Structure 1
Amino acid sequence: MAILKVIEVLSNSDKSWEDATRKAVKEASKTVKNIKSVYVKEHSVTVKDGELDQYRVDVKITFEVNS
């Protein structure tokens, strides 16, 4: 039986929600091993001078814990 844990990570990008998600996984993988999936819980964007500025995601990253 596998033991899985979930962490919640917030990330942002000036390009896209997909890029923000990639950044979240890349940053989490520096300290978390065996990442199995990512669930985008929420996404939003900030506006600056009437234009879209920062794409933000709130993701849940699931990883397997070695026993």
Structure 2
Amino acid sequence: MATMKVIELMANSEKSWEDAVKNAVKTAAKSVQNIRSVYVKDQTAHVTGEEITDYRVIVKVTFEVKS
């Protein structure tokens, strides 16, 4: 039976929410191994004038803990 752990991360992107999620996973993978899934908990955007300038996400990343 596997043991899983969940961490919560915030990430952003100037392109899209999807890219922000990819950034979160890519950054997490630098220090966490065996990532199994990502859950998008929240999405927001920063607006300047009439344009979205920054897409932001809060995600939960699940990974397997090796014993």
Q: Give the gaps of 5 or more residues in structure 2.
A: none
Q: Among all aligned residue pairs of Structure 1 and Structure 2, give the percentage whose two residues are the same amino acid.
A: 58
Shift of 1:49: 1.8
Output the TM-score relative to the length of structure 1.
0.98
Distance in structure 2 (CA, Å) of the matches to 1:12 and 1:49: 19
2: CA distance between counterparts of 1:25 and 1:37?
9
3-state DSSP of counterpart to 1:15: coil
* Letter of the 2:41 counterpart: K
Partner of 2:65: 65
**1:1-67 alignment to 2 at 5 Å?**
1-67=1-67
Is the partner of 1:31 in helix, strand or coil?
coil
State the TM-score, normalizing by the size of structure 2: 0.98
Q: Mind listing any 5+ residue stretches in structure 1 that lack a counterpart?
A: none
